[in-house]
C-alpha cells in the first residue's frame, strides 16, 4: 500500500476513534459551547469571510474535513444562514451529530477522491484541514473540480509575512525564550513550524503539516486560467484550557490570548491565511467588499492563447 493511502487510513482511524476516547469527552462537549474563549477564536476567523459568505448566502456550500461533528457547517449556518453540506473522511462524529439533529445530512469523503460530480456545489469550504491531507494539491484540484464559484481555505501561511527579521525578530525570539524559562504554557498559533523554524510532523494523526503559499496558489490560478484569488493573512494564538474558559472581560486567560495576538501582530508576522480561489469572474461589489475587509487581490494576467 502506498504511504499516502496508509496515512489516509491513519487519519480516518484517528478521527473515528476519537469519539470513543473517554478522556476526550469534556473537550468534545466544550466544542459546542458558544461562551468560551475558543469559540471567540473560531468566530473571529469566520468573521473574516463575511463578504463572500453574504454574497453567496443563497448558494450551496460543502465543507471538507468537517469531522468535528460538522461544526464548521453548523457555525456557518448560525452566523450566515448558509446551506452547508458537511463531509469528512471519518463518519462517527458526523453520524452522531445527525442523530442529535444538529445537521440534516453528511457525506463520508476523501478530499483527494471526492465522489461529487463537476461543479456540484457553488462554494467549497475547507477550514484547518488542508494541511492534514497526504496529497493536498490533489485535494485542492478536487475541490476546484466540484466547485462552481469558489474554494475557501483556512490554513497556516508559508510566506515572508510569516517570518520576521531584524529588531522585531530579536524581540520575538527573546519573548519565546522567556516563555520557556518561566514555563508559561502558551504560544503563538504557528502549527506548521517548530522551534527551529522547520516544518514538522504531528504526533496525532502522525502526518506532515503543510502550509499554504499564496504565491503558489496564484500560480495555480494562472495555470488553470481561473478568474482570480483573494487572501487575508492574520494571526491567532492558543492557550491550553481556552476551550473551557468563558470569554468574559475579567478573564485573565482571554486577556492573555488577545495580548499574544497583538504582540504577534506587532512583529509584522502573519501566520495564517484565508485564501479564496475564484473559478469565475467575481462581482465588482464583492471585490470591493473584500478589499475593504483587508483582503489582497493579486492582478490576474489573462492567458492570451485561450
In a domain? residue 214: yes
Predicted TM-score of the model (pTM):
0.88
- Range scoring the smallest mean pLDDT among 20-24, 128-132, 190-194: 190-194
Q: Is the pLDDT of residue 196 over 50?
A: no
pLDDT score of 116 = 98
Q: Is the pLDDT of residue 126 over 80?
A: yes
Residue labelled with grid coordinates 474535513: 65
Q: Is the pLDDT of residue 229 over 80?
A: yes
The CATH number for 114's domain is 3.40.50.150
pLDDT score of 167 = 47
pLDDT in tens, 140-181: 999 999 999 999 999 998 865 555 444 444 455 455 455 545
pLDDT score of 195 = 47
For residue 62, what are the β-bridge partners?
A: 85, 124
pLDDT score of 146 = 98
pLDDT score of 174 = 55
In a domain? residue 189: yes
pLDDT in tens, 4-55: 888 889 889 989 999 999 999 999 999 999 999 999 999 999 999 999 999 9
The candidate with the shortest Cα–Cα distance to 95, out of 83, 84, 107, 85, is 107
Over the chain, what HEC string results? CCHHHHHHHHHHHHHHHHCCCHHHHHHHHHCCCCCEHHHHHHHHHHHCCHHHHHHCCCCEEEECCCCCCCHHHHHHHHHHCCEEEEEECCCHHHHHHHHCCCCCCCEECCCCCCCCCCCCEEEEEEECCHHHCCCHHHHHHHHHHHEEEEEEEEEEECCHHHCCCHHHHHHHHHHHHHHHHCCCCCEECCCCCCCCCCCCECCCCCCECCCECHHHHHHHHHHCCCCEEEEEEECCEECCCCCCCECCCCCHHHHHHHHHHHHHHHCCCCCEEEEEEECCCCCHHHHHHHHHCCCECCCCCCCCCC
Domain of residue 32 covers: 3-292
In a domain? residue 163: yes
In a domain? residue 299: no
pLDDT score of 190 = 45
The candidate with the shortest Cα–Cα distance to 274, out of 121, 51, 94, 116, is 51
User: Residue 202's pLDDT band (boundaries 50, 70, 90)?
Assistant: confident
Total tally of structural domains belonging to the chain: 1
pLDDT in tens, 239-283: 999 999 999 999 999 999 999 999 999 988 899 999 999 999 889
pLDDT in tens, 280-301: 988 999 999 999 999 999 999 9
In a domain? residue 298: no
In a domain? residue 206: yes
In a domain? residue 300: no
Could you give the percent of the chain with pLDDT greater than 90? Answer: 74
pLDDT score of 306 = 86
C-alpha 258/C-alpha 236 separation (Å) is: 9
In a domain? residue 211: yes
Could you give the percent of the chain with pLDDT greater than 70? Answer: 86
Amino acid at each position: 500500500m502506498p504511504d499516502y493511502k496508509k496515512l489516509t487510513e491513519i487519519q480516518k482511524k484517528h478521527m473515528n476513534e476519537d469519539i470513543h476516547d473517554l478522556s476526550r469527552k469534556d473537550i468534545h462537549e466544550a466544542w459546542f459551547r458558544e461562551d468560551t474563549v475558543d469559540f471567540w477564536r473560531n468566530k473571529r476567523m469566520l468573521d473574516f469571510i463575511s463578504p463572500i459568505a453574504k454574497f453567496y448566502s443563497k448558494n450551496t456550500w460543502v465543507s471538507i474535513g468537517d469531522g468535528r461533528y460538522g461544526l464548521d457547517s453548523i457555525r456557518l449556518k448560525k452566523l450566515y444562514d448558509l446551506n452547508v453540506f458537511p463531509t469528512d473522511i471519518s463518519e462517527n462524529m458526523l453520524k452522531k451529530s445527525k442523530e442529535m439533529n444538529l445537521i440534516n445530512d453528511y457525506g463520508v469523503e476523501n478530499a483527494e477522491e471526492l465522489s461529487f460530480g463537476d461543479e456540484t456545489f457553488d462554494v467549497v469550504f475547507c477550514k484547518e484541514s488542508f494541511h492534514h491531507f497526504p496529497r493536498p494539491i490533489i485535494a485542492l484540484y478536487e475541490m476546484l473540480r466540484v466547485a462552481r464559484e469558489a474554494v475557501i481555505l483556512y490554513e497556516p501561511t508559508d510566506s515572508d509575512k510569516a517570518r520576521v527579521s531584524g529588531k522585531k525578530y530579536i524581540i520575538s525570539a527573546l519573548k519565546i525564550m522567556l516563555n520557556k524559562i518561566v514555563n508559561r504554557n502558551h504560544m503563538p498559533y504557528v502549527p506548521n513550524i517548530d522551534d527551529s523554524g522547520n516544518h514538522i510532523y504531528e504526533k496525532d494523526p502522525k502526518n506532515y503539516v503543510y502550509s499554504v503559499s499564496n504565491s503558489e496558489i496564484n500560480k495555480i490560478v494562472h495555470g488553470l486560467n481561473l478568474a482570480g484569488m483573494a487572501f487575508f493573512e492574520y494571526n491567532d494564538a492558543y492557550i491550553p484550557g481556552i476551550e473551557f474558559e468563558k470569554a468574559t472581560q475579567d478573564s485573565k486567560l482571554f486577556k492573555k490570548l488577545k495580548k499574544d495576538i497583538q504582540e504577534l501582530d506587532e512583529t509584522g508576522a502573519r501566520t495564517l491565511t484565508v485564501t479564496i480561489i475564484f473559478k469565475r469572474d467575481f462581482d465588482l461589489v464583492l471585490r470591493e467588499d473584500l478589499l475593504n475587509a483587508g483582503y489582497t487581490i493579486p492582478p490576474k494576467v489573462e492567458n492570451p492563447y485561450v
